[in-house]
Structure formats: structure tokens, C-alpha cells
Structure 1
Amino acid sequence: MAKSMLIISRQAPWSGPGPREALDIALAGGAFDLPLAMLFLDDGALQLLPAQQPAAVQQKNLGANLQALPMFGVDELFVCASSLAERGLSDTALALDAQMLDDAGIKALIDRFDIVVTI
């Protein structure tokens, strides 16, 4: 049986290579039918905002990769409710449908997976 993996993405979209690496891991794992999910935590929640302007910082748009996640079998997307609240955001402002979790929900989510990768 394949091990399951949770990828926790904690960095803002254009803060460095971390967000792209998290997406690459998710897309690769999904391509090999690895059961996985993603949790956007802290500044990582900002990755889910629409209408980002990556060209302004000479970066490639992560939006296309995020939109491709379901095509690669990554159907479970989660976002930390307090991360959104601390940044003055709500789940209705997100470009992708991600389930909001409180601290207890995050703990239960982490406990569900065999492997947890934080980037």
C-alpha cells in the first residue's frame, strides 16, 4: 500500500523557491498516484489568492500549477483559518476551493498522513 503524504506550504508565493518546490512535490506525487493533500499555513495561505502579479518580481505564475492539482489527483486542499484571519482574509477570497481548518483540525489532518513535508 502506498504511503500517504501531506505537504504543508508555509511561504508566501514569491518569497523564494519553497512554494514552487511544494507544488512540484505535489504534482509529482499525484502523477504516481500517491495519496496526498496540501495544507497552506502561515504566509502559505497567500498562495491561494487570485490575480497575483508574478511578473512584477520576475517570477512564473504559480496559479496554473495550483489549478492543475486536481488533474494530478490532489483533491484535498486545506488552509489554516487563523492564517487567513491574521492576514485579513476569508475563504471566499481564495482562487481555489480549500477547506478551512482550525488548530484541532490541523492536528487531526497531520495525524491522518504517513509522511508530512513542510516547506
Structure 2
Amino acid sequence: MAKSMLIICKQGPWSNISVRETLDLALAGGAFELPISLLFLEDGVFQLVANQQAKTIQQKDISANLQALPLFGIDELLVAEQSLQQRSLTTEQLILPTKLIPQQQLAHLLTQYDVVVTS
């Protein structure tokens, strides 16, 4: 049986190359039908914001990679509720459906996965 993996995305969409590498990791794991979930917290929630203008800062848009996640069997997209609130964001502003995770449930969430990767 494949080990479950939680990938924690904590960085803004264009903070460095690890954001793209993290999405590539998730897509590769999904291609091999590994049970993968992504948790977006802190500035990582900005990765999910719709209608970003990546070209204006000469960056490659990551929204296509994000929208491909369900095609690779990655349907469990989790968002730290407190991170959204602290950044004045709502789930309606995100490009994909997500499940909100209250702050008090984050520690328990980590125990539910065999492997946890943070980027």
C-alpha cells in the first residue's frame, strides 16, 4: 500500500523556485497514484488566488499547474483558515475548491499522514 503524503505549501507563488518544484512533486506523485494532499498555509495561500498577473513581474504563471492537480488525482486541497483570514482572503477568491482547516486542527492533521513534506 502506498504511503500517504501531505505537502505543506508555505511560500508565496513567486518567492523562489521551490514553489514550482513542490507542485511538480505533487503532480509526479499523483501520476503514480500516490495518496497526496496539499496544505496551503501562511503566504502559501497566495498560490491559490485567482487572476494573478505573473507576467507583470516576469514570472511564469503557476495556475495551470494548480488546475492540473485534480487531473492527477489530487483532490484534497486544504487551506489553513487562519492564514486566509490574516491575509483578508476568502475561499471565493481561490481558483480551486478547498477545505478549510481551523488552527486547532492543524497538529492533528499532520498525524494522519505517513509522510509530511514542507516547502
> Above 0.5 in TM-score?
yes
Aligned-residue identity in percent? 51
Question: Is the CA contact 1:4–1:113 (under 8 Å) kept in the aligned structure 2?
Answer: yes
User: Which residue matches 1:76?
Assistant: 76
Q: What whole-Å deviation, never above 9, does each CA across 1:19-56 have from its counterpart, x for those lacking one?
A: 11110110000001111100001000001100001112
Q: CA RMSD in A?
A: 0.9
Give ranges in structure 2 of 5+ residues lacking alignment. none
- 3-state SS of the aligned residue for 2:78? strand
- The Cα of 1:61 is off from its aligned counterpart by 0.8
How far, CA to CA, are the matches of 2:58 and 2:29 in structure 1? Answer: 27
- The Cα of 1:11 is off from its aligned counterpart by 0.4
User: Which residue matches 1:85?
Assistant: 85
TM-score scaled by length of structure 1: 0.96
User: Which residue matches 2:111?
Assistant: 111
Is residue 7 from structure 1 mapped to residue 7 from structure 2 by the alignment?
Answer: yes
User: Which residue matches 2:54?
Assistant: 54
Task: Count residues with an aligned counterpart.
Answer: 119
Give the 4+ runs in structure 1 shifted more than 3 A.
none
Is residue 100 from structure 1 mapped to residue 100 from structure 2 by the alignment?
Answer: yes
Question: Is the CA contact 1:9–1:18 (under 8 Å) kept in the aligned structure 2?
Answer: no
Give ranges in structure 1 of 5+ residues lacking alignment. none
- The Cα of 1:92 is off from its aligned counterpart by 1.8
